[in-house]
Chains A and B, each alone.
Chain A
Amino acid sequence: MIDTNKTTAAIVARCQELFDDLEFGSAREWKEAGPNRRVVAYMPIYVPRELIHAAGMLPLGILGGGENLEVIHGDAYYQSYICRIPRSTLELGVTGRLDFVDGFLFPSICDVIRNLSGIWKLLFPKVYVRYFDVPQNFDDEIGGRYYVQELTELREGLERLGGVRVTDEALRASTALYNENRRLIRELYAVRAEAPWLAPTSEVYLLLRAGMVLPVEEHSQLLRDYLAAVRAAPRPRRDNCRVVLNGVFCEQPPLNLIKAIEMSGCYVVDDDFTLVNRWLLDDVPLAGDPLRNLASAFLHRSAETSAKYQPDEAKKGKFLVDSVRSNGAEGVIFAAPSFCDPALLDRPMLESALDRVDVPHIGFKYAENSAQMQPVREQAGTFADSIKLWSAP
């Protein structure tokens, strides 16, 4: 008998509900379910969630307010030429939607998010706020040593916040859980790349977003259920072209934009949504010093993105070319938030890398509250048509 809670539609509906909930009900419920529970929020693109989990806390991904949040107060903090994610995040804060959050980590992604960490300190002095600066030097003895100490300071900060000790054992156990979660996400991406009609990106995206608000154990189960469901329920294959979507790593595109790309005739076979879910490319070893293991994984086996320095010029853009090849993509769609320094400064270099190997690409900008999808449909549709017509052997 089919478990109706585990059909694709039911799983996606649950994820959609979590996605739409700007009061973060599931995280609030988690916190209220036990005494002294703490919630630590984080912004894109990467924080070591294992540490938060090992402290007995819930990591909560905040990726802005999305298309349905009316920003009233947040606009008073930012000029018109600054992207939307900080203003909608502030809107969430000043309207009390994040009043249950005990800590907030701001990763070193760009100057806007960096400065938002300071605004948060000023506006919410009772919240544990940390700017999480990761190394841009990838030598174990230089960047690695620095990063281990940063992780140690984060661990100590969380210990103070929670009044608990974060033991190595607890950290290993949490790392194992996140290893499993990353494995499942890699599997999900592999399934989509193999047969994108089975796992549309609009669904995959919602699953990834669910991982921002659910405990990792619950999210992993959701992933397992979804993988089983899509394998059990065939879906029709369309004559779409296959594209990689790049630039969507921080401020999120509206869900309708993802759907518009798919409806225009593109299967997205790789992307850089919610990179925290798969930042570390392999399992983090469990034996030995857990902080060193996390540091080593960050330095040597982590995703490449615009917020990260590429020391070797010959390798600039290689990850994108590799993604195109390994996922059988026929082109790249660059979608960047307006005023996004990392994505927009990086784009010309990534375009050059694609040009050198004759991979077609297009680009456009969006904001998380962009409403008009017709131009996107037309642009992506034309791109898909041109690939189908002119790129065939």
Chain B
Amino acid sequence: MTVKIPTPSAPPSPHEAVKEASMLKQKEMIARNYELLTGTAENGRKVVSTFVPGNLNELVMCFDMLNNLPEINAIQNGMKKLSGGYIEEAEKRGHSEDVCTYVKADLGMMAKGNLAPNGKPLPRPDLLLLSYTGCFTFMKWFELLREQYKCPTVMLHVPYQGDGHATQNMRDYIVKQLKDEVIPALERASGVKFDIDRLREYLRESARAEDDLVRVLESAKRKPSPIDAYFGGVFYIGPIFTAFRGTPDATEYYRLLRAEVDERVRRGLGPVTPEGDMKSQRYRLVVEGPPNWTSFREFWKMFYDEGAVVVASSYTKVGGLYDRGFRHDPDHPLESLADYCLGVYTNHNLPQRVALLEQYMREYEADGLLINSIKSCNSFSAGQLMIMREIEKRTGKPGAFIETDLVDPRYFSAANVKNRLESYFQMIDQKRQTATAA
């Protein structure tokens, strides 16, 4: 089912965004979650604030707690054009212009009333669960939040895969932290005793949804690709990376999504864009790095107007590399959570990242690698020029480099990005012509 609905909170546009049933389902899930989060005074639910990569949603649910993710709030504020003001507010309060804009958007939002996307104030968390995975900034971010909220904090330190693999020592360290520190802190904050069988059930539910997500992501190997694995992909990963993994809602969302994608495959259709089905697919790209959120739709349009479809992306792996085989395992619940935390994309070392992108280039028969380098995200960005060189060297396909930011509108220059993309597409054309002539 495809319906047309007005885009909420978007700037005036001649177009209406086209949405499929799965999109409506996700929208309803997010809205309901924000209602629950902003209604804790009435519903009595306890809240844990934590981060997206390596989040422990199934574990949090074992304690009947709600999951509030500051990056998701920042993204929501970016898409609603609110983040710029929040960032300026944080900078006025002494935060450097050089640091992560998610952090500043979050702190600025707190300074201005901490309003959720539904316009109601977010509650103070009962626990800050610092899942320190793949990003140094997380550690300082939660120290900054702790200073504001004065609430209990527990840290889960996930070691980095510096040598390109997880070791038993790393797993043991994480499991020990879960057993001795994280679970007791969740028990104290919630008043609920931990039940490992409950965790197993949630993990079983997660694995079901993960199977369907992989099927959806891998559909982009087809020509034409029925999905856009970056601009569309960020919506596809939404439920599984956030507060819904392990819930029947998420399973249902991915069942719906998979059916929609299967149907698009059957009908030979391209991805759904905000302006309807993408018709021609002239360029197949792999994209490295997060998207820009403040001009998301404008950014996406630069691609589909040129017939560029993203067939694989690294950003859609920041919450786990399910397509490389990882599944949450109910038979080894805590060990499985440890492996999940260890395996998120930004916790992989640079050679692993290069190898993954190279595999994507080949498996998805991409024409090139595009890097969207984010000014304020060193975890992703430091080393991306090396990544581009390596991919070009290994695949012979051209790479391109554009620079934007996550949620700071000051660093999205539409004209510059568009110029670079157009030049890049011309370069791909030239490469093709040269290859044909040879």
Contacts and interface: CB of A to CB of B under 8 A. Distances in A.
Interface in A106-130: 106, 108, 110-112, 114-119, 121-123, 130
A347 B91 CA distance: 13
Contacts of A77: 383, 385-386
Interface in A121-151: 121-123, 130-133, 135-137, 139, 141-143, 145-146, 149-150
Contact of B162 (A79, A123, A130, A336): A130
B163 A133 contact: no
B13 interface: no
Contact of A342 (B136, B141, B376): B136
A123 B144 CA distance: 37
A131 B153 CA distance: 27
Nearest to B179: A142
A118 B181 contact: no
Given A137-B177, A139-B180, A342-B136, A149 B150 contact: no
A307 B143 CA distance: 12
A106 B162 CA distance: 9
Contact of B157 (A78, A135, A153, A349): A135
Given A110-B136, A349-B144, A137 B162 contact: no
Contact of B403 (A76, A79, A118, A139): A79
A146 B144 CA distance: 27
B381 interface: yes
A170 interface: no
A121 B354 CA distance: 12
A82 B374 CA distance: 11
B160 A121 contact: no
Nearest to B350: A118
Interface string A140-176: 0111011001100100000000000000000000000
A132 B160 CA distance: 9
Contacts of A365: 96, 98
A344 interface: yes
B214 interface: no
Interface stretch (B113-121, B168-176, B250-258): B168-176
B373 A79 contact: yes
Contact of B381 (A76, A79, A316, A346): A79
Nearest to B384: A79
Contact of B94 (A142, A316, A336, A348): A348
Interface residues of A, number: 59
Contact of B350 (A121, A309, A336): A121
A313 interface: yes
A341 interface: yes
A117 B386 CA distance: 12
Nearest to B348: A118
A347 to B, nearest CB: 7
A100 interface: no
B380 to A, nearest CB: 8
A308 to B, nearest CB: 9
Interface in B144-192: 144, 146-147, 150, 153, 155, 157, 159-160, 162-163, 167, 169-170, 172-173, 176-177, 180-181
Interface string A325-359: 00000000000101111101111110110000000
B220 to A, nearest CB: 27
B248 interface: no
Nearest to A119: B386
A88 to B, nearest CB: 14
A313 B349 contact: no
Contacts of B135: 111
Contact of A149 (B103, B144, B169, B384): B169
A115 B350 contact: yes
B262 interface: no
Interface in B393-432: 403
A306 interface: yes
Contact of B136 (A114, A122, A132, A143): A114
A81 interface: yes
Contact of B146 (A139, A313, A336): A313
A222 B266 CA distance: 77
B350 A81 contact: no
Contact of B147 (A117, A132, A313, A336): A313
A30 B318 CA distance: 45
Contacts of B379: 111, 115
Majority SS at the chain A contact face: helix
B132 interface: yes
B143 A111 contact: no
Interface string B343-361: 0000001111110000000
Contact of B150 (A86, A116, A131, A313): A313
Contacts of A132: 162
A139 B179 CA distance: 13
Contact of B132 (A116, A117, A119, A136): A136
Interface in B26-60: none
Contacts of A79: 373, 375, 381, 384-385, 403
B373 A346 contact: no
Given A309-B143, A313-B153, A341-B99, A111 B349 contact: no
Contacts of A141: 176, 180
Contacts of A86: 382
B141 A133 contact: no
A77 to B, nearest CB: 5
A158 to B, nearest CB: 14
Nearest to A113: B382
B137 interface: yes
Nearest to B379: A111
Given A81-B98, A136-B155, A313-B150, A115 B143 contact: no
B351 A306 contact: no
Contacts of A352: 147
Given A122-B386, A316-B147, A136 B139 contact: yes
A82 B95 CA distance: 17
A142 B157 CA distance: 11
Given A108-B160, A153-B169, A82 B382 contact: yes
15 contacts: A77-B383, A78-B385, A79-B375, A79-B403, A81-B381, A111-B382, A118-B351, A119-B350, A123-B386, A142-B180, A309-B155, A311-B153, A313-B146, A339-B98, A346-B140
Which 6 A-B residue pairs are closest in the complex by CB-CB distance?
A118-B350, A131-B162, A345-B140, A146-B173, A115-B383, A344-B96
Interface of A: 76-79, 81-82, 86, 106, 108, 110-112, 114-119, 121-123, 130-133, 135-137, 139, 141-143, 145-146, 149-150, 153, 306-307, 309-311, 313, 316, 336, 338-342, 344-349, 351-352, 365
Given A311-B153, A311-B155, 18 more contacts: A77-B383, A79-B385, A111-B378, A118-B351, A118-B352, A122-B386, A131-B160, A137-B173, A143-B173, A153-B167, A309-B155, A309-B157, A316-B143, A339-B378, A341-B378, A342-B136, A348-B95, A348-B144
